[in-house]
Amino acid sequence: MDIPDLIRQASREGQVVRLDEVWNRTEEEFHAQISGHKDIDRVRQGEVCYLYSTDFMARRYAETAARISSGDIPLAIAETVRSESATYPRPTPVETFKGKPFHLSDEQIASAMEIIFGDPRSADIGSVRASDGSVFLYSTDHLNAAQAQSMAERIAVGLHESP
Partner 1 sequence: MAEYYGWTGKTLRVDLGAGSIATEDTVARYRDYLGGTGIGYKVLWDEVPAKTKSFDEANKLIVAAGPLTGTSAPCGGRTSVTAIFPTVSPRELVATGHMGGEWGAELKYAGWDAIIIEGRANKPVYLAIIDDQVELRDAAHLWGNGILRATSAICQEMGPETQVAAIGQAGENLVRLATIVNSYSHSAGGVGGVFGSKGLKAIAVRGSGAVRIAADKKAWRDLIRYVLSLFGANNQHVVPSTPQPWAEFSSPGSRWTARKGLYWGAADPPVETGECRADDLNRMAYRTAKATYDLGPNAEPFTVRMGGCHSCPIRCHAHLDVPSVEKHGVSRYSASTCVGWGARNFFRSFPDGRRGMTSVEAAVVGRNLADDFGIWTNYGQLQRDFRYAYDNGLIQANLPAAEYKSIPWERYEAGDPGFLQEIYRRIAFKEGEFGQAFAEGSGRLAERWKFPDGYYKDRSSGWWKMGHPQHHAADEAGQSGVLINMMYNRDCQCHSHSNFIRNGLPLRIQKEIGAKLWGAGALDEGDNFTRMNPDKARFALWALLRKELHDSLTLCNWMYPLAASPHRSRSYEGDNGAEALLYTAVTGDKKDAAQLDLVAERIFALHRALTVRDMGTMDMRSRHDTVPDWVFDHPADVQPFTPGHSKMDRQDIEVARDMFYELLGWDKKTGAPTRAALERLGLEDVASGLARIGLLPG
Piece in contact with partner 1 (CB under 8 A), picked from 24-32, 53-61, 71-79, 112-120: 53-61
Q: State yes or no: cis peptide before 4, omega within 30 of 0.
A: no
Piece in contact with partner 1 (CB under 8 A), picked from 23-31, 71-79, 108-116, 152-160: 152-160
Binding test (CB under 8 A) with partner 1, winner from 19, 51, 64, 135: 64
The footprint of partner 1 on this chain (CB under 8 A) covers a number of residues equal to 40
List binders of partner 1 among 81-140 (CB under 8 A): 87-90, 92-93, 95-96, 99-101, 132
60 scored as a contact of partner 1 (CB under 8 A) = yes
Residue 110 CB, shortest distance to partner 1, in Å, is 19
Residue 42 CB, shortest distance to partner 1, in Å, is 16
DSSP string, the chain: --HHHHHHHHHHHT--EEHHHH--S-HHHHHHHTTT-TTEEEEEETTEEEEEETTT--HHHHHHHHHHHTS-HHHHHHHHHHHHHHHS---EEGGGGGSTTT---HHHHHHHHHHHHH-GGGTTEEEEE-TTS-EEEEETTTS-HHHHHHHHHIIIIIHHH--
Residue 52 CB, shortest distance to partner 1, in Å, is 8
5 scored as a contact of partner 1 (CB under 8 A) = no
Q: State yes or no: cis peptide before 120, omega within 30 of 0.
A: no
Q: Which residues contact partner 1 by CB under 8 A?
A: 11-14, 56-61, 64-65, 87-90, 92-93, 95-96, 99-101, 132, 144-151, 154-155, 158-163
